[in-house]
């Protein structure tokens, strides 16, 4: 999937869209995607100016976005303005290697379980074949509560 297809599949936009390309996707099983980490990312101005490191929470968010694409592809649907894909848990998150400008972050996510609307994924982010981060992600698709005008 190229960026145009990703934009049709995810509701995220700059500066929070963290998937640049999907390299492979097997609905119901696994996805492999990439994030090109550029020095122009807005978070590098403050994290850390003297040694630029991608925040771990954004690496996990990139993995979750890849998981969302896998979920939508598995369900054969697209997001809409009436629902949102939420985290319901992040277990065992480990950060093994700093991710810095110029790195290409490979996002590998495997669906391990789906029950009663909760999706569980095993997720790993790598740079040059070395694990940068890993976690188990729990996500769900929920309807957005309607708000009536006063």
* Active site amino acids: 47
Distance of alpha carbon 75 from the chain centroid: 17
CB 73: neighbour CB atoms within 10 A?
18
| Phi, psi values for residue 96, rounded to 5° | -105, -25
By the 8 A CB rule, do 78 and 61 touch?
no
| 3-state percent breakdown (helix, strand, coil) of the chain, nearest 5 | 20, 40, 40
User: What is the strand order of the sheet 21-26 is part of?
Assistant: 21-26, 30-36, 104-115, 118-127, 130-143, 83-95
């Amino acid at each position: 999937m190229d960026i145009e297809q990703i934009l049709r599949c995810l509701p995220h936009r700059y500066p929070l869209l963290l998937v640049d390309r999907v390299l492979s996707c097997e609905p119901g099983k696994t996805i492999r995607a990439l994030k090109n980490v550029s020095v122009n990312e807005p978070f590098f101005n403050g994290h850390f100016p003297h040694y630029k490191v991608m925040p771990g929470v954004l690496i996990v968010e990139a993995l979750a976005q890849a998981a969302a694409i896998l979920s939508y592809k598995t369900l054969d649907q697209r997001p809409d303005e009436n629902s949102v894909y939420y985290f319901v848990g992040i277990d065992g998150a480990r950060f093994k290697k700093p991710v810095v400008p110029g790195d290409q972050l490979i996002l590998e996510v495997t669906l391990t379980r789906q029950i009663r609307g909760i999706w569980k994924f095993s997720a790993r982010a790598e740079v040059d074949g070395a694990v940068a981060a890993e976690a188990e992600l729990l996500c769900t698709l929920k309807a957005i509560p309607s708000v009536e005008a006063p």
